[in-house]
Chains A and B, each alone.
Chain A
Amino acid sequence: MTATAPSAPSPAGAGFARDVATVFQREIRPSLREPLGLILSLGQPLLLLFFFGPLLGGAQGVGAPGAGGDSSWQWFVPGVLVMLCLFGPMMSGYNLLTELLTGSMERMLVSPIDRSAMLVGRTLKEFAVLLAQAVLIIALAVPLGFRLHPAGILAGLLLLGVFGIGLGAFSFFLAMKSTPSGELFYGVTQLALFPLMLLSGVLLPMDFGPRWLQMVALANPVSHITDGVRALFSGAYTDPSVLWGFLAAGAIAAAGLLLGNRAIRKGVGV
């Protein structure tokens, strides 16, 4: 046996951080090598920003909670960012699914890399990508009339990031549960994403709708996150919707990470 001896085990914490970094770097490398893909995935949000956003200027009642008569852009930009958070992480669940259906995920599961680190590294990559895309969209919205409240922007991005991590972890969980056919993943993402988006008042205020629709939206955690980001982007830091937004995002992140971690520790096809 002339083979290389396995490296000595490092302290658990350092090893975990290392593994997270390895997974994160492996995940983000293709995006850095070909950033065009990230920009193309911004196509839909950008179209909305330029071709739909301006229409809202004339609509009565379009305004962020607690923001008084602030411009419609403070209301609309957060909606676009929430959409980004909904579709981006779900797309990366699809990437994981293809890695599960080929042998590449199995190869990682046979390696000594920490399995929780595989989940955390991947969700951190989602966080980083969302952050970069959100900053770009905000920058493009400024010339249109979006006003910058720096502290609110930071807090809002944090809120969106927590939401993105939760959804990312949840979509990884879904992908792992979908093997070997993948049907569960396609089914849930097809059926859930669009209603979640419509019922969060991303494009038009839920106040425009009938009472029953508003009640349904109230049960949708995404609508609370949307409202929270709107308040923060308008500088209304103490609006109650901020608290509700963080609670909703925190709950989604906790549930997603818990489920995702359990699934990845158990392995695939077990």
Chain B
Amino acid sequence: MIHARGLTRSFTTQHGRVDAVRGLDLDVEPGTLVAFLGPNGAGKSTTLRMLTTLLPPTSGTATVAGADIATDPAAVRARIGYISQKSSAADTQRVGDELFYQGRAYGMSRGRARRRAGELLDRLGLADLADRKPVSLSGGQRRRVDIALGLVHGPPLLFLDEPSTGLDPHSRAEIWSTILRLREETSMTLFLTTHYLEEADSMAERVVIIDRGRTIADGTAESLKAELAGDRVTVALHEADDADRAARVAAGFATAPDRVSRLAPGESAPGTADALNGSRDGAARVTAQVADADAALPVLLSALEAAGVKTAAARGARPTLDDVFLSLTGRSLTEEQAADDPQAHHQPEKEPSA
């Protein structure tokens, strides 16, 4: 459905040349739900804009829905749907009118465009809002209108740029159930960007992680977590002096002898909440990467007891996608997003005009 090779895009700004995407390779099979994950400024939106023909690549090629984005953009446009980060319906237009003209824009007859608009309004629970303007709608309702607009021509491939960003938790859940329902009904290929790690983790069949314009990981969330981060067990100790002994015991359980780390009292493990950060910061802790945290924890605790180490608390944790990102880049995705403004300045996600 998507095959990209060496996709590259650079921009010229006042600060000089910015390489937003550098040699990206990507293959997406029909019918999959792919989450495209990365910190702000990683090149997510630029990649999406290239794949949707909004932006010509500086170099590299891509075939999207069977057509080349550079030589046959018209064919690509006819076969894809695109739901941008921003609201897709104009504030001056009524919701029903926008859907009708969207159908016309995709070459439908007046009758067919009208029927299709009605169909989508019903399916997305928007029937009562057909005569309203987007300004008077809630965030979740607006997003449903955007999704309806992206679906008018029944595209086999749908791109969604941050579909749930800026919505309250209830609306986010609602948008997700809509997306998943659509998928079941149509066997569409969905390619979406998100910076909600949990969403990518639980919803996507495949996660592609991008950083600084390049793909750095690609696989199912489970395989990425197992291969790149692994389960972890953490114990907090009563006596800081026991740390050496506890680490030696834990090494016997770890996937590799070097996958054991020690945290001094007051120290926090970077990016992860599962190393008893916060709750037991005052104690010395030992963390080991293990194959199966649930099974390793009881055995480790009895081994520590046998070695005379007194434990104050213990936790077994499955890795998150943030741990995957951390182990790949040494940086935490959640922290980068918290401080996204300076980052966005160096590698703008929104392209500066050339």
Interface residues in chain A, defined as those with a beta carbon under 8 Å from any beta carbon in chain B: 1-4, 6-7, 9-10, 15, 18-19, 22, 25-26, 29-30, 33, 95, 98-99, 101-104, 106-113, 177, 179-180, 267-270
Contacts and interface: CB of A to CB of B under 8 A. Distances in A.
Closest 7 CB pairs of A and B: A4-B154, A103-B86, A103-B84, A6-B78, A7-B107, A26-B101, A3-B154
Interface of B: 30, 49, 52-56, 74-75, 77-80, 82, 84-94, 97-98, 101-102, 104-108, 146, 149-150, 153-156, 186-188, 350-351, 353-354
Main secondary structure, interface of B, reads loop
A108 B153 CA distance: 13
Contact of B90 (A2, A7, A104): A104
Given A103-B84, A104-B90, A270 B354 contact: yes
Contacts, number: 114
A4 B97 contact: no
A3 B186 contact: yes
Nearest to A269: B351
Nearest to A180: B350
A103 B88 contact: yes
A179 B353 contact: yes
A127 B77 CA distance: 30
13 contacts: A3-B155, A4-B153, A6-B75, A7-B108, A22-B101, A22-B105, A99-B90, A104-B87, A107-B82, A107-B84, A107-B88, A110-B54, A268-B54
B107 to A, nearest CB: 4
Nearest to A106: B84
Nearest to A10: B107
B93 A6 contact: no
Contacts of B97: 26, 29-30
B119 to A, nearest CB: 11
B101 A110 contact: no
A112 B86 contact: no
B105 A1 contact: no
B80 A110 contact: yes
Nearest to B113: A22
Given A1-B156, A103-B84, A180-B353, A108 B107 contact: no
Nearest to B1: A1
Contacts of B53: 110
Contacts of B150: 107
Given A22-B104, A112-B78, A1 B30 contact: yes
B77 A269 contact: no
Contacts of B153: 4, 6
A106 B161 CA distance: 12
B92 A30 contact: yes
A177 B353 CA distance: 8
